[in-house]
């Protein structure tokens, strides 16, 4: 199991996102569950980011929405950074 770190800034971002997209609450929670169990689960489509976001990764909530995160494999820690559509998180 991985530890998911949720910062105050991410909590604020997630709250705003879920208020705007209440239909995604269940899928969002399932995404966090998969992250905690296995961040490499194929449905998450985990991939490393480049450019200004180098060092971060992204997972998919669905085809339109993503969560950016910091993934530290050695310590089995995941720090959530941002959530939103492709334009908002990249």
| CATH ID of 3-83, from 3.40.50.300, 3.60.110.10, 3.30.2310.20, 3.90.700.10 | 3.30.2310.20
For residue 57, list its beta bridge partners.
48, 69
CA–CA dist 57, 52 (Å, integer): 12
Around Cβ 34, how many Cβ atoms within 10 Å?
Answer: 17
Q: With 80 as the cut, is the pLDDT of residue 87 above it?
A: no
All structural domains of the chain with their residue ranges: 3-83
State pTM to two decimals.
0.86
Q: What percent of the chain has pLDDT over 90?
A: 58
- Residue 18 and residue 70: Cα distance in Å, rounded? 21
Angle between helices 8-20 and 25-37 (to 10 degrees): 140
| Helix, strand, coil percentages in the chain from 3-state DSSP, rounded to 5 | 45, 30, 25
pLDDT at 21 over 90: yes
Q: What is the pLDDT, as a whole number, of residue 42?
A: 94
């Amino acid at each position: 199991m991985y530890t998911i770190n949720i910062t105050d800034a991410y909590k604020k971002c997630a709250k705003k996102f879920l208020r705007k997209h209440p239909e995604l609450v269940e899928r969002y929670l399932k995404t966090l569950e998969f992250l905690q169990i296995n961040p490499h689960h194929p449905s998450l489509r985990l991939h490393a980011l480049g450019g200004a976001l180098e060092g971060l990764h992204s997972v998919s909530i669905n085809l339109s929405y993503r969560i950016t995160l910091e993934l530290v494999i050695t310590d089995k820690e995941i720090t959530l950074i941002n959530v939103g559509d492709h334009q908002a998180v990249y």
